[in-house]
Amino acid sequence: MKLAQAGMLVTGAASGVGLACVTQFSACGTRVWGLDNDEQALETARAAVPGARFLRCDVSDPAQVEAAVAEVFADAGTIDIVLNNAAVLRDQTLVSRLGKRVKKHSIEDWSATLASNLTGTFLVAREVAARWLETRHKGVIINTSSVVRAGNAGQSAYAASKAAIDALTVTWSQELAVYGIRVAAIAYGFAETGMTSKIPPLFRERIRSGSTVGRFATPEELVAGVRFICENDYFAGRVLELDGGLRF
């Protein structure tokens, strides 16, 4: 797929890897629409990338996703690329003992993580793919996975959501190939973003030492993986690992 003049929808677009993606693809001549639920971050993103259009949307809300996708298609005519990038990170262990008290993983954090990371991916992909089928348009859906999908202490909900996204990627690739729609995923390692800045120093050092390159990625390095999937029409139904060789 050629990026110049292609239409692209990015979720979680107002910061981190999402904003880096909007910035880089816009510079390539791609017409980009970004969704995010953080109004303050959206205002900053609009100023940083005036050529892109940003909309507020909670991707875990079916009605908001339907309305946002309808607005994007009305504005764009159609789009060619979807990057399901929106995610939240609420780390907790399943249970922990603090003195005489046992703390349990909260159902609220579990539900919020799955709603954003997993249900949000499902809703956006479903709405866009339905419109592509209606118009017989061919495009590519890229889902965001993570090195954590294999499991990592303290990240039950996040790991579960990303492992599920891998399974959805394979499933949707098989289902949508007959319509000329590609589906793939990219499993990120840890990048220097606002989300990872909250990781405690000892754990950050563990990540660095577990990576063969000995550092976190830049958001721009991860966006290069997204661009590879877009431009290589033979890549489908697989998860591209871009994690600096990190293993826990």
**Residue in 158, 179, 188, 234 annotated catalytic:** 158
Q: Which one-letter amino acid corresponds to residue 5?
A: Q
| CA nearest neighbour of 207 among 223, 224, 192 | 192
- 139 token code pair: 């495009």
Residue 158 annotated among the catalytic residues of the structure: yes
CB distance 169 to 145 below 8 Å: yes
- 189, 147 Cβ separation under 8 angstroms: yes
Give me the active site residues, please. Answer: 158
